[in-house]
Amino acid sequence: MDEKTVMIQELGPEHLKAVVQLHQECFAPETNFSTRLGPRFLRASYNFFVKDPKAFGFVALYEGKTVGFICGRLDFFVGALNRYRAPVAALALLGRPRLLFAMDFRKRLVQAVKTFTARRKTEERKSTNATREGPTATLASLGALPDYAHLRVSDRLLSTAESLCRKQQMHFVRASVRRANISSRFLYRKRGYVEDPGTSTDDGVFCYLSLEDEA
């Protein structure tokens, strides 16, 4: 199989069903808050990246199958996404009240709140590593099926997203990844992202890529 057979397309309404299914395959409910809230919440969340004028998204297709996706926003903080998702999450919880009594779900909820708080702190003080000034885009989600790792799907999606951000005159791209996700952290490091311990949490790590270095 040749990686050149992987096609990258802009995320559209026609891709939402496949992206929701892919999210559920890539992110286990035991470790992912959004997965636990169910497919309706996921569809509404990813629809944000189709509708919002500052958002962007891409899907990777191989032989007609969606094998990866990436979403983000041309903004340092994805507060607009959180405001959009809050009522959707509330409706999802109303439809699944037992989730609130599940210990592991409450744990994930606490971790989600910590991540949200960390993002707010990052927004307020930028970074503890000095000199990161300038327009910064945020990657909100990246997923790729492990069976297609040999096609470098994640690399191709990141390259596409970073190129878009560069064209939109962003100076930096930032991403968050679970601390325990060693393979993803390695991928970001390999692409030149630098982890910022000052704005990371016990569960998640924030990392940055300078687009100016490649200008």
Q: Which pLDDT score is estimated for 11?
A: 98
Q: What is the CATH number of the domain that holds 116?
A: 3.40.630.30
pTM of the shown model: 0.79
Tell me the range of 34-48, 71-85, 159-173 where mean pLDDT is highest.
159-173
Q: Which pLDDT score is estimated for 101?
A: 47
122 vs 197: CA distance, rounded Å: 11
- Of 13-17, 37-41, 175-179, where does mean pLDDT reach its minimum? 37-41
Tokens of 10: 């802009």
Amino acid at position 208, single letter: Y
Q: pLDDT tens across 180-209, in order?
A: 889 999 999 999 999 987 766 677 888 999
When divided into structural domains, the chain yields a total of 1
Tokens of 166: 């560069």
Q: In what order do the strands lie in the sheet with 136-144?
A: 7-10, 55-62, 65-73, 136-144, 172-178, 204-210, 194-195
R_g of the chain computed on alpha carbons: 17
- The domain containing residue 98 runs over which residues? 3-214
Q: Which pLDDT score is estimated for 37?
A: 79
Element (DSSP H or E) covering residue 149: none
Element (DSSP H or E) covering residue 21: helix 16-26
Q: Which pLDDT score is estimated for 5?
A: 86
